[in-house]
Amino acid sequence: MEEYLARIAPADEAAMRAATERQLALTKPAGSLGVLEELSVRVAGMTGACPAAVPAPAVVTVFAADHGVHAQGVSPWPQEVTAAMLANFAAGGAAVNAFATNNRVDVRVVDVGVASDVAALDIVHAKVRPGTRDLSTEKALTEDEVLAAIGVGFELADALVRDGYRCLLTGDMGIANTTASAALIATFTGATAETVTGRGTGIDDAMLAHKTSVVRSALALHAVPASDPLDALSAYGGLEHAALAGYILGGAANKVPVILDGVIAGAAALVAQAFHPAAIEYCVAGHRSAEPGHAVALKALGLQPLVDLDLRLGEGTGAVLAYPILSCAVRALAEMATFESAGIASGESS
Ligand SMILES: Cc1cc2ncn([C@H]3O[C@H](COP(=O)(O)O)[C@@H](O)[C@H]3O)c2cc1C
Ligand SMILES: O=C(O)c1cccnc1
């Protein structure tokens, strides 16, 4: 873990200053590309280059795992859906596959802790254990299990960048993982269980009340301080949250932009932030999920979501949807003419 964290450095301020200056020279009124301008400056800082190269190729990694707390009745779906969806991702039939095809993003699928074994050949088999323990009665993971899952994510980020990827997108699959996400978000933000617990896949009022009370009593049982990300992952899991935290840290260590998906990614990013605050300088919030804890997480991360379309699916769909926006922001800074090169009088000098 120490070796991983030692590789993370803050974004490059000189590249950001140069990008801010270059934005002013481009053939458009200053500020007219709104949030995209700030985004291009941030990517210059991440990559240490002005202008930064378009962040391509991109890959969305779907980390999949199961949750012991499923036994408490916090999701209407059977646990087997996690494994079944893995086969669906591998066959190209999920929403994230359609979005990824459309936006030229590659899809990787990782079994980091699915309860049953998935036979698909083209998934990464990196199971740390078959699902977590029930966070409402005991610690979900041992510290060794947490560290192993973080390692899966970090090492995969390293391998993907070695393979040539220049933008890493987060994805997740794990029935009941919005419950673990709520507990993690409450731990790092101090928000109440009521504020951060939501309907996940779409539960009724009675199940929501029960899910909220499960989160509330788990927070009281484990009472993890916001300063201890390892203990938070150990208390609540999940294995996909730990792997995602490692993947985010790995993206930051490799100085590539990491586009975050929804509430599961938001919870994992809070873990990464607690390990190393500078890791968030490499994160872009792809979208804002309808799950209420996500807005709470984004506020604590200081990230503005690029898309807000009431998505509440996960899998990486919101991140993949946002990828072309990030790409456009970077391409504009790299490829637009300046007033000088185009021979156009700039507003200031005319
Ligand atoms: C068919 C199906 C496909 C999904 N794809 C993502 N999720 C999403 O829903 C789950 C979290 O919601 P909860 O905490 O309420 O169980 C996760 O697996 C998440 O990735 C799905 C859920 C289902 C049912
Ligand atoms: O925000 C998400 O990623 C999300 C929301 C609901 C269910 N699954 C995922």
CB atoms within 10 A of CB 116: 15
Flag whether 210 is in a domain. Answer: yes
pLDDT band at residue 121 using 50, 70 and 90 as cut-offs: confident
Query: Which of 173, 185, 240, 320 has most ligand 1 atoms within 8 Å of its beta carbon, as the pocket-test mutant?
Result: 173
Q: Do residue 275 and residue 130 come from a single domain?
A: yes
Q: Do residue 84 and residue 35 come from a single domain?
A: no
Ligand nearest to the CA of 215: 1
Which range marks the domain in which residue 36 is found? 2-53+333-342
Q: Do residue 152 and residue 274 come from a single domain?
A: yes
174 lines ligand 1 (CB under 6 A): yes
Flag whether 348 is in a domain. Answer: no
**Phi-psi label, residue 237: left if phi above 0, alpha if psi -120 to 50, beta otherwise:** left
pLDDT band at residue 138 using 50, 70 and 90 as cut-offs: very high
Whether this model's ipTM surpasses 0.90 comes out as yes
Residue 348, pLDDT score: 58
Flag whether 193 is in a domain. Answer: yes
- Sign of the four-CA dihedral 263, 267, 269, 273: positive
Q: DSSP string of 106-149?
A: EEEEEEEE-SS----TTSEE--SSSS---TTTS-SS-HHHHHHH
Question: How does the average pLDDT of the chain come out, rounded?
Answer: 97
| Tens digits of residue pLDDT in 276-329 | 999 999 999 999 999 999 999 999 999 999 999 999 999 999 999 999 999 999
Residue 116 confidence (pLDDT) above 60: yes
Q: Do residue 48 and residue 65 come from a single domain?
A: no
75 lines ligand 1 (CB under 6 A): yes
- C-alpha–C-alpha distance, residues 151 and 247, integer Å: 8
Query: Which of 67, 77, 109 has most ligand 1 atoms within 8 Å of its beta carbon, as the pocket-test mutant?
Result: 77
Residue 86, pLDDT score: 96
Tell me the pTM: 0.98
Q: Do residue 213 and residue 259 come from a single domain?
A: yes
Q: What are the strands of the beta sheet with 58-65, ordered from one edge?
A: 124-125, 105-113, 58-65, 167-173, 258-260, 283-285
Flag whether 350 is in a domain. Answer: no
The active-site residue out of 291, 315, 335, 340 is: 315
Q: How far is the CA of 263 from the centre of ligand 2 (A)?
A: 6
Task: Give the residue, by CA position, lying nearest to ligand 1 atom 3.
Answer: 85
- C-alpha–C-alpha distance, residues 191 and 183, integer Å: 10
Number of helices (H) and strands (E) in the chain: give both, helices first.
Answer: 15, 6
Flag whether 134 is in a domain. Answer: yes
Residue 349 confidence (pLDDT) above 60: no
Q: Do residue 44 and residue 188 come from a single domain?
A: no
Torsion of CA 89, 247, 44, 2, to 10 degrees: -170
Atom nearest to 181 CA in ligand 1: 14
CATH number at residue 28: 1.10.1610.10
Atom nearest to 264 CA in ligand 2: 3
Ligand nearest to the CA of 265: 2
Flag whether 255 is in a domain. Answer: yes
CATH number at residue 173: 3.40.50.10210
Q: Do residue 19 and residue 82 come from a single domain?
A: no
Flag whether 268 is in a domain. Answer: yes
Count of alpha carbons within 13 Å of 160, Cβ hemisphere only?
36
Q: Do residue 15 and residue 93 come from a single domain?
A: no
Q: How far is the CA of 290 from the centre of ligand 1 (A)?
A: 13
Flag whether 120 is in a domain. Answer: yes
Q: Do residue 128 and residue 247 come from a single domain?
A: yes
Residue 195 confidence (pLDDT) above 50: yes
Q: Which two tokens stand for residue 189?
A: 């933000």
- C-alpha–C-alpha distance, residues 6 and 156, integer Å: 18
How many domains, in total, are found in the chain? 2
Q: Do residue 47 and residue 87 come from a single domain?
A: no
Q: Do residue 119 and residue 197 come from a single domain?
A: yes
| Tens digits of residue pLDDT in 224-282 | 999 999 999 999 999 999 999 999 999 999 999 999 999 999 999 999 999 999 999 99
- C-alpha–C-alpha distance, residues 37 and 51, integer Å: 12
- C-alpha–C-alpha distance, residues 260 and 169, integer Å: 6
Q: Do residue 77 and residue 93 come from a single domain?
A: yes
- C-alpha–C-alpha distance, residues 97 and 201, integer Å: 19
261 lines ligand 2 (CB under 6 A): yes
Q: How far is the CA of 283 from the centre of ligand 1 (A)?
A: 23
